[in-house]
Amino acid sequence: MLHRSTLITTGMLAVSMLAACSREPAPQARTADPATATAPAAAPASLPAMQPSRTGRGEEGPRTVTGAVVETMNAANYTYVRVKTEDEELWAATGQFDVKVGQRVTVPLEMAMENFHSQTLNRDFPAIYFVSQITREGEPGRAAPAGGSPHGTAQPSPGDLAPITSPMQPPPGGTTVANVWADRKALAGKPVTVRGKVTKYNGGILGVNWVHIQDGTGAAAQKTNDLAITTDDTARVGDIVTATGTLATDKDFGAGYAYPVILEKSTLKR
């Protein structure tokens, strides 16, 4: 969803990841050492470098690590794991999946966040990775579960949805996705209203919800047919929404996740 921008899912950054679910009771941790059940793992001296690795398709992907799960907990649609490798311990979170203490898992080091506070868990993580999936050792990669990385593989990608066969009419006083991209320099810092179909949604990341919309305008090849939005409102993939927010350009959230165009502090109306 992000051309570096199409990603969320996910995570992407990143981030209170579960702010949208903050009314749910904090789950109990399942841990190999009860004395550490409520204490976050010590922050590493520095987050592991996101060195590229080959995906097998001629593309570069994030570095991966493999280790044993020493602590895990579920919160809403997410699973948190503390993983001990040969060299370090680290926290990672992804869409909820079944895992037990002692199992070995493989984690792609995708979205790195430091000093992250989970409102749902009421817990601080000195360092954590928000990732598209965590795979139990020996198992094939799974389809990304609900939740996923902050920027983006949690819900269907635009290609998974029925295409918009004709451009949607812009809302009164508003504009189209294509025009937002074309006029982004002039619109930067100004209020913008645009209508489109929700193609991806990730809630509670960096204290806000992340939405991507398309309205049938723009060019998929240039990736000007998709607009990223941050909002306190909720939505579902497939919803038709009208978003009003402040346009920002060249926003870089770190870890390689940058948005040439993004509509911030938006309100959504159906």
DSSP string, 84-152: E-SS-EEEEEEE-----TT-EEEEE--EEEEEEEETTTTEEEEEEEE-S--EETTSPPPPPPSS-SSSS
Give pLDDT, residue 255. 52
Q: Is the peptide bond before 36 cis (omega within 30 degrees of 0)?
A: no
Short-list 19, 158, 125, CA closest to 78:
19
Best-predicted range by mean pLDDT (51-65, 79-93, 158-172, 205-219)? 79-93
Report the pLDDT averaged over residues 7-34: 39
Residue-wise pLDDT tens digits, 63-122: 899 999 999 998 766 789 999 999 999 999 888 889 999 999 999 888 788 888 777 788
* 8 A C-beta contact, residue 155 and residue 237: yes
What length does the chain have?
270
Give pLDDT, residue 252. 83
Residue-wise pLDDT tens digits, 241-252: 999 999 999 988
Tell me: pLDDT of 150 over 90: no
Q: Where are the domains of the chain?
A: 19-136, 158-269
Classify domain 158-269 at the CATH topology level. Answer: OB fold (Dihydrolipoamide Acetyltransferase, E2P) (2.40.50)
Single pTM value for the model: 0.50
Short-list 30, 37, 127, 131, CA closest to 78:
131
Give pLDDT, residue 155. 40
Residue-wise pLDDT tens digits, 30-42: 444 333 333 334 3
Report the pLDDT averaged over residues 177-202: 94
Phi, psi for residue 236 in degrees, rounded to 5 = -125, 150
Give pLDDT, residue 141. 57
Give pLDDT, residue 153. 36
Residue-wise pLDDT tens digits, 115-148: 887 777 888 889 888 887 899 887 765 444 333 3
% the chain with pLDDT above 70: 65
Same fold for the pair 19-136 and 158-269 = yes
Q: Is 7 left (phi over 0), alpha (psi -120 to 50) or beta?
A: alpha
Classify domain 19-136 at the CATH topology level. Answer: OB fold (Dihydrolipoamide Acetyltransferase, E2P) (2.40.50)
Determine the longest span between alpha carbons in the chain, in angstroms. Answer: 59
